Chains A and B, each alone.
Chain A
Amino acid sequence: MDFDLAVIADNWRFLAYGVLVTIVLSIVSGATSLAAGLALALLRLRGPRWLRPLIVLYVDSMRAVPVLVVLVWTFFALPIVTGLTMSPFTAALIGLTVHLAAYAAEIVRAGIESVRPGQTRAAVALGMSPAQVMRRIVLPQALVRMLPAFGSLLSITIKDTAIASVIAVPELMRQSETVAGQSFQPIEVFTFAMLLYFVLLFPVTRGVDAVYRRVAHLGRS
């Protein structure tokens, strides 16, 4: 069995575009789901009471439904319901954000709840408003504790972008499928894709571990 690397050399630009789309989609959906998760967790912990069961329902629903189903529904069914047409990238972004924000919300909630109540009480005793308590005392400690879980979530985000290939987002998985289909050389192409994903993912978790070890003491209380 000979490995013909020419197919990769010929199509590297096409595959590189896929890597770019993967990275962009991961970063943007990671950022939006983080922001949404933070907002949801704060609403759940400090917001109106009636909102809480709705947020719990949303979070538990995202634990129940696969990413594939969310992405396919967002791309094919949402335009029917809303009348908006969207590009595959936009649909993937929306779908991934909706799915991952639930996990992000749980991570943020766990982080905030892990900060000792004594901290909050002391801050209130010093005359801080609830917003100040959250912003200046609780969140800085909580965010440090959440880092390893966020690293794990980023890793999951990058892996989930590969599922967006099903709705024809031109990310790495999709580009690899196209090249493999056209060249009839799936071994070289898919093995190369595996290598690329590994190179993308391995440093993410290791990097987050390394950063966390440096800043872990800041989350102490």
Chain B
Amino acid sequence: MTFDWSVVWQHRDALAAGTAMTFALTVATMAIAVPAGIVVAVLRLYGPAPLRVAATAYVELFRNLPLILVVYWAFYVVPILTGLGLSALATGLAALSLNVTAYNAETFRAGINSIRRGQSEAAMALGMSRSQALRRVVVPQALRRITPVLASTWVSLFKDTSLVSVIAVSELAYVSMQLRAQTFRVLEMLTAMAVLYWLLGYPQAKLVDWIQRRYQVTE
């Protein structure tokens, strides 16, 4: 059995493009999921009863479904249901965003809830409205507790982008597996894929550790 590791170097451009797509998907999903998560969390905490129920149902639904199923569902079902012909990339982005928004909503809700009630009570006693109390007193404190969890979610998301490879979005996993099929160099390409993800993910994981240590809140 001979191994030809030069195929990895030969196809470095394709692999680099896949990596760029992985990063782009992660950034784009977070750009959507963070504001959306805030909206859902606020609806869940302070919204009128029907919206509160809807937000809770949404969060519980997406926390109890495998992401790969959501990706398939979005790809096969949404075009039929809505008549929209979205590209695989847009579909993958939508599925990822739906999933991460649910997790973010939980993170924001937990962060806001972790700030003692006395804080918002004192703020309102000083004459602030509910939204002012939220915006000026609660959220700035909650951010410190939210940031480490959000960083952890980022790393999970980075890994989960590999799942949109099943609908042929050209991120790193898809590109690697296509190259494997083209070159028949199974061990080399798959090991290269694993090593690339490791090289990208390990520093991110260590950065998250640092963020968690730095922003740790001890009562």
A residues at B contact (CB < 8 Å): 1, 60-61, 63-70, 72-73, 76-77, 80-81, 155, 158-163, 165-166, 173, 176-177, 180, 186-187, 190-191, 193-194, 197-198, 201-202, 205
A201 and chain B: residue at smallest CB distance: B64
**Is the Cβ of A190 less than 8 Å from the Cβ of B64?**
no
- Nearest to B76 among chain A residues (CB) is A186
Contacts of B67 in A (CB 8 A): 159
- The SS class assigned to the B binding surface is helix
CB–CB B68/A64 < 8 A = no
**A198/B187 in contact, CB under 8 A:** no
Q: Is the CB of B202 within 8 A of A194?
A: no
A188 nearest CB neighbor, chain B only: B77
**B39 CB–A CB distance under 8 Å:** no
Minimum CB distance partner of A67 in chain B: B159
Question: What are 14 A-B contacts defined by CB distance under 8 Å?
Answer: A60-B202, A63-B202, A64-B201, A64-B205, A66-B197, A68-B165, A69-B193, A72-B173, A161-B66, A162-B68, A165-B68, A186-B77, A197-B65, A197-B66
> Would you call B217 an interface residue if the criterion is a C-beta within 8 Å of the partner chain's C-beta atoms?
no
**Cβ contact within 8 Å between A194 and B198:** no
Q: Verify if B212 is at the interface (C-beta below 8 Å from A).
A: no
Residues of B within 8 A of A (CB): 1, 60-61, 64-69, 72-73, 76-77, 80-81, 155, 159-160, 162-163, 165-166, 173, 177, 180, 186-187, 190-191, 193-194, 197-198, 200-202, 204-206
Are the C-beta atoms of B76 and A190 separated by less than 8 Å?
Answer: yes
Whether the Cβ atoms of B173 and A63 lie closer than 8 Å is no
Is there contact, CB below 8 Å, between B61 and A187? no
Give every chain B residue within 8 A of A198 (Cβ-Cβ). 61, 64-65
Question: Most chain-A CB neighbours within 10 Å: which of B69, B72, B80, B204?
Answer: B69
What A residues does B205 contact at CB under 8 A? 60, 63-64
Q: Which of B72, B173, B198, B200 has the most CB of A within 10 A?
A: B72
Q: How far is the CA of A165 from the CA of B76 in the complex (A)?
A: 16
Chain B residues positioned under 8 Å from A177 (CB to CB): 72
Query: What chain B residues lie within 8 Å of A161 (beta carbons)?
Result: 66
CA distance A60 to B187 in the complex (A): 23
Closest Cβ of chain B: how far from A46's Cβ, in Å? 23
By a CB distance below 8 angstroms, the chain A residues around B190 are 69, 72-73, 76-77
* Neighbouring B residues of A61 by C-beta, 8 Å: 198, 202
Q: How far is the CA of A166 from the CA of B162 in the complex (A)?
A: 12
Query: Which of A70, A80, A159, A186 contacts B66, CB < 8 Å?
Result: A159
A203 and B77 alpha carbons, distance in the complex (Å): 26
Smallest CB gap from B202: residue in A: A64
Closest to B180 in A: A76
Measured CA separation A68–B186 after assembly (Å): 15
The answer, among A69, A158, A166, A187, for a CB contact under 8 Å with B166, is: A166
Knowing A60-B205, A64-B197, A66-B162, the reply to whether A77 touches B69 (Cβ < 8 A) is no
B1 touching A80 by the CB < 8 A rule? Answer: yes
